[in-house]
């Protein structure tokens, strides 16, 4: 589907509605190669959960060529069933531009634009020029991501120079801003509400964001921590909030309390360091039907004392978690094809 840059905001207002998850790469058990069928499995799971879209998490131990292959597989499997987006967080402007062009050719519709850890600009103009170059490289919808993890406090105490966003908001294909920190989200609503879609991806803040700011989509995130395809609690809860059925939505909200507390206790400490626990998120997905499989190093370790409480909170929600854990480490698609992990290294 070809959409001109000038039409992107209208497209976004009509299309970016609901919950968006994350698709992580799957590998062969020795982590040597991408597991295409495992990736396709997880894309089909995103559809089964009722998500409107999925984000390709490319910053997960992939070479650049593997990242391009990963995006191609996700787009091919998603077809017209999901809106596919890609993060532009590669280590150079040239690679980010190349991925933007590749994503457009592969069938992506959105670019989530940030900065890699090695980016150290001299001034705000450099930040603006980099973002402007990436936003205008294609006609894809661009999502600005003013994260506090870029070490930009020298330009603004929020962690991001907000005046840069004011100028970028004039670009026709800039359709949304993602802001997870509550104060930053409130500032984005004040600056751009009614002009850009404001997305706060923190599940517990949805009641406030929907009622106060009309938030119409949430993501990307690992919302499989709170639901299964058969019991899509977050999808239903968000839908009810947007429909004004707040009482019914809050019943689901409170039902998710234990799962929310556990998920946040594991994810928030690492997120505030500027990194994410990819294997833990894949484990959440596997427990409710995903392909599973570990991600490459560098990544965080997953411990049994973390895994068991996750299973328990799912059972509290009436969701029976998948067993045994050994399957998670291999990946379901690998097992179905008779590919097993080596027992010696």
User: Minimal CA–CA distance to 90: which of 71, 108, 106?
Assistant: 71
pLDDT of 342 above 90 = no
**Residue in 228, 260, 259 with CA at minimum distance from that of residue 46:** 228
pLDDT tens for each residue of 204-251:
999 999 999 999 999 999 999 999 999 999 999 999 999 999 999 999
Give the pLDDT of residue 344.
64
Residue 192 and residue 18: Cα distance in Å, rounded?
A: 20
Whether the predicted pLDDT of 345 surpasses 70: no
Helix segments in 230-340, DSSP class H: 233-243, 246-255, 257-271, 278-287, 304-316, 325-330, 332-336
Question: In this model, does residue 271 exceed pLDDT 90?
Answer: no
Cα–Cα distance between 20 and 218 in angstroms, integer?
6
pLDDT given at position 298: 87
**Beta bridge partners of residue 178, listed in sequence order:** 199
Whole-number Å distance between alpha carbons of 135 and 117: 19
Would you say 172 and 9 are in contact if contact means Cβ atoms under 8 Å apart?
yes
**1 has a pLDDT exceeding 70:** no
Residues 111-152 pLDDT 10s: 999 999 899 999 999 999 999 999 999 999 999 999 888 999
Check pLDDT > 90 for residue 281. yes
pLDDT of residue 340: 82
Percentage of residues in the chain with pLDDT exceeding 70?
99
Rounded to the nearest integer, the mean pLDDT of the chain is 95
Tokens 């998948």 found at: 322
Instruction: Report whether pLDDT(311) > 80.
Output: yes
């Amino acid at each position: 589907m070809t959409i001109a840059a000038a039409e992107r905001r209208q497209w976004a207002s009509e299309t970016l509605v609901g919950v968006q998850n994350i698709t992580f790469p799957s590998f062969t058990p020795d982590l040597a190669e991408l597991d295409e069928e495992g990736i396709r499995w997880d894309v089909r799971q995103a559809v089964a959960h009722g998500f409107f879209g999925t984000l390709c998490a490319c910053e997960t131990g992939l070479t650049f060529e593997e990242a391009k292959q990963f995006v191609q597989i996700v787009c091919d499997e998603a077809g017209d069933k999901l809106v596919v987006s890609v993060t532009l967080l590669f280590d150079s402007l040239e690679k980010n531009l190349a991925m933007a062009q590749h994503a457009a050719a592969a069938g992506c519709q959105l670019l989530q634009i940030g900065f890699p850890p090695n980016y150290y600009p001299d001034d705000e103009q450099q930040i603006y020029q980099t973002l402007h170059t990436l936003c205008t490289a294609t006609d894809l919808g661009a999502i600005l991501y003013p994260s506090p993890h870029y070490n930009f406090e020298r330009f603004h105490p929020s962690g991001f120079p907000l005046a840069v966003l004011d100028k970028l908001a004039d670009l026709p294909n800039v359709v949304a801003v993602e802001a997870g920190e509550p104060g930053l989200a409130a500032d984005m609503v004040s600056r751009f509400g009614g002009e850009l879609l404001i997305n706060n991806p923190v599940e517990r803040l949805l009641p406030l964001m929907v009622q106060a700011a009309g938030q119409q989509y949430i993501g990307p995130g690992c919302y499989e921590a709170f639901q299964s395809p058969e019991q899509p609690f977050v999808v239903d809860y968000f839908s009810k909030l947007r429909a004004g059925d707040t009482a019914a939505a809050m019943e689901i909200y409170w039902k998710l309390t234990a799962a929310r507390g556990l998920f946040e206790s594991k994810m928030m400490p690492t997120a505030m360091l500027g990194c994410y626990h990819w294997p833990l998120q894949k484990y959440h997905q596997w427990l409710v039907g995903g392909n599973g499989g570990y991600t490459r190093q560098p990544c965080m370790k997953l411990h049994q004392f973390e895994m068991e409480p996750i299973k328990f909170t799912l059972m509290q929600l009436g969701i029976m978690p998948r067993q045994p854990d050994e399957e998670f480490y291999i990946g379901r698609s690998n097992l179905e094809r008779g590919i097993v992990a080596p027992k010696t290294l």
